[in-house]
Chains A and B, each alone.
Chain A
Amino acid sequence: MTVHDSDPPLDLPWPKPAEPSLATSQAICKQCTGDLERRRRLSGRQRLMLSLALSFSVFALFAWLTRSHARIEGTFRSALLGAVGWGAVQAAVLWVGVVRPPGRRASARIRLVLAVMVPVAFIAYIAYAAPHWVTFAEFSHGPAAAHAVGCSFVGMLFSAVVTGGVLLLWRGTDPLSPGLTGALVGLVGGVGGGLTIGVSCASQEGWHACFSHGLGTLAFAALGWALGRRLLPP
């Protein structure tokens, strides 16, 4: 008798699950039940609220600190409206990709598309909203370039605060797809940093906005993926 090639081996005597030794089982039970106390913990929704509160707080604090900065007329109002809209996007990204328990979230494909397309959409939005553009040569030389570098640095600092804070809020919650979850957290941080620096930046030029305020979202999505793999599994 041979196993028929086209039949899946459904009738095979698959091994029964093995049992660990009694000594090991007793040691584990003792370790895990000795001095057992109720663990207070945050639910997914509570972590979401705290994540959004962190991002909003960073934005609001910086907006308040720079309230006396000279701004081009109308840009502060635009920045606030943009922050409200993109704050909703941050909430949606976290809701779809992170809030639901691991194993019950949207598929990896959907979350990967979010991790790539949301930063692209953010940069596209910034480019669309920019009131004027100079040539790339003008942007990439002289005082404009120096300003862009400084602005990027400050923006990334805000992104780092938001990304780091949100990663810590979700620490230990995801052994299944920590990289992807981290990437979504990173892009939320990147958007937060970009919005924060955008509210007070004196330059509304297109290249500057895209490079200094927008590109950080992609960078932080990648950084979030790397940090997520270390911080998010238990």
Chain B
Amino acid sequence: MHSDRSAARVSGSSAEELMESYVNGNGEAFEALYKKLSPSLFGYLLRLTRQRERAEDLLQVTFSKVHRARGSYLRGAPVLPWLLAIARRSFLDERRHASTRSEDLSHDGNLPEPKPDDSGLPSDLSAALERALDSLPEAYREAIQLTKISGLSIVEAADVLGTTETAVKLRVHRGYEQLRKELDRFHRSV
């Protein structure tokens, strides 16, 4: 019965309420929070890394940091942008560390980005859109993922990316333009 009451308390709660409850030691609140937000977080990391295994590793690193730092969460902070910012930093840290190890570098000294799967034509519009998103430059891809798919506002996305609202709008706009071109190509080939 205690479990039922606790479950009733967490269901229907906002992410911020769940986070507060988690910080106060409620494990069920964490599970509800994870269920609520992990798809957005994982989707973002998958869009950045384009490798499922790496995205899952980074998801674990992100939540590990959240768990250690839960005492420093300030009440009322929007949780999804908070988590996405931590995830992004984890991604950038991992990329920085990888570049200092002996990895194969491209001719310009950068780590080669995993190439999107170009084998075969996309079967439908969803697949074409997925491929088009993956082919965008990282900055545009991130901006569209955060605003269109994760549902952040321009202001929140700018906070996560550490840039200005104008820069985010520009990246989204340019990303859309490239998506249009790619999708036009798909439609012509169908």
Contact = CB atoms under 8 A, between A and B. Distances in A.
Tell me if chain B binds chain A.
yes
Given A24-B56, A29-B34, A102-B77, A18 B46 contact: yes
Contacts of B34: 25, 28-29, 32
Interface residues of B, number: 61
Contacts of A233: 85-86, 89
Interface stretch (B94-102, B112-120, B158-166): B158-166
Nearest to A7: B180
A70 interface: no
A177 interface: yes
Q: Which of B66, B67, B160 has the most CB of A within 10 A?
A: B67
Interface string A153-195: 0000000000000000001110111010000000000000000
B20 to A, nearest CB: 11
Interface in A85-128: 100-104, 108
A31 interface: yes
Nearest to A173: B72
B179 to A, nearest CB: 6
A52 to B, nearest CB: 17
A15 B23 contact: no
A3 B77 contact: no
B156 interface: yes
A31 B67 contact: yes
B60 A27 contact: yes
A73 interface: no
A73 B30 CA distance: 62
B70 A175 contact: no
A142 interface: no
Contacts of B160: 176
Contact of A39 (B71, B82, B86, B133): B71
B25 A25 contact: no
Q: Is the interface of A mostly helix, strand, loop or mixed?
A: loop
B77 A104 contact: yes
A134 interface: no
B68 A234 contact: yes
B66 A234 contact: yes
A135 interface: no
Given A28-B59, A102-B159, A108-B164, A37 B176 contact: no
B77 to A, nearest CB: 3
Interface in B47-85: 55-56, 59-60, 63-78, 81-82, 85
Contact of B42 (A1, A20, A27, A104): A20
Nearest to B144: A14
Contact of A177 (B24, B31, B133, B162): B162
Interface of B: 22-27, 30-31, 34, 38-40, 42-43, 46, 55-56, 59-60, 63-78, 81-82, 85-86, 89, 125-126, 129-130, 133, 148-150, 156, 158-160, 162, 164, 176, 179-180, 183-184, 187-188
